[in-house]
Structure 1
Amino acid sequence: MPIQIGERLPEATFNVVKDGVQALSTADVFGGRKVVLFAVPGAFTPTCSAKHLPGYVEQIGQFKERDIQPVCMAVNDAFVMDAWGKSQSVPEGMLMLADGNGAFAQALGLEMDATAFGMGVRSKRFALYADDGVVKGLWVEAPGEFKVSSAEHVLANLPA
Structure 2
Amino acid sequence: MIKVGDRIPEVTLHRMTDEGIRPITTAEVFAGKTVVLFAVPGAFTPTCSARHLPGFIDHIDALTAKGVDTVACIAVNDPFVMAAWGAQAGADGKVLMISDGNGAFAAATGTEMDASKAAMATRSQRYAMVVRDGVVAHVFLDSPGAFEASSAENVLAHL
TM-score band, normalised by the shorter chain?
over 0.9
Aligned residue type for 1:99:
D
Q: Is the 8 A contact 2:57 2:94 kept in 1?
A: no
Q: Is the 8 A contact 2:60 2:94 kept in 1?
A: no
Aligned residue type for 2:157:
A
Does 1:47 pair with 2:47?
A: yes
Partner residue of 1:14? 13
TM-score (norm 1): 0.96
Q: CA deviation at 1:29?
A: 0.4
Q: Is the 8 A contact 1:57 1:91 kept in 2?
A: no
CA distance in 2, matches of 1:93, 1:139: 21
* Unaligned ranges ≥5, structure 1: none
Does 1:37 pair with 2:65?
A: no
Q: CA deviation at 1:66?
A: 2.0
TM-score (norm 2): 0.97
CA distance in 2, matches of 1:157, 1:93: 20
Q: CA deviation at 1:104?
A: 0.2
The 5 A counterparts of 1:125-144 are 125-144=126-145
Aligned residue type for 2:4:
I
Aligned residue type for 1:7:
D
CA distance in 1, matches of 2:51, 2:95: 16
Find the residue that maps to 2:37 and give its secondary structure: strand
Partner residue of 2:24? 24
CA distance in 2, matches of 1:117, 1:151: 26
Find the residue that maps to 1:35 and give its secondary structure: strand
Find the residue that maps to 1:149 and give its secondary structure: coil
CA distance in 2, matches of 1:30, 1:62: 20
Identical counterparts, % of pairs: 50
Runs of 4 or more, structure 1, over 6 Å off, are: none
Q: CA deviation at 1:16?
A: 0.6
The 5 A counterparts of 1:3-152 are 3-18=2-17, 19-68=19-68, 69-152=70-153
Find the residue that maps to 1:4 and give its secondary structure: coil
Q: Is the 8 A contact 2:31 2:134 kept in 1?
A: yes
Deviations 1:110-153 (A, max 9, x none): 11000111100000000010001000000000010000000000
CA distance in 2, matches of 1:115, 1:58: 31
User: 125-134 or 64-73, which moves further after superposition?
Assistant: 64-73
Q: CA deviation at 1:67?
A: 2.5
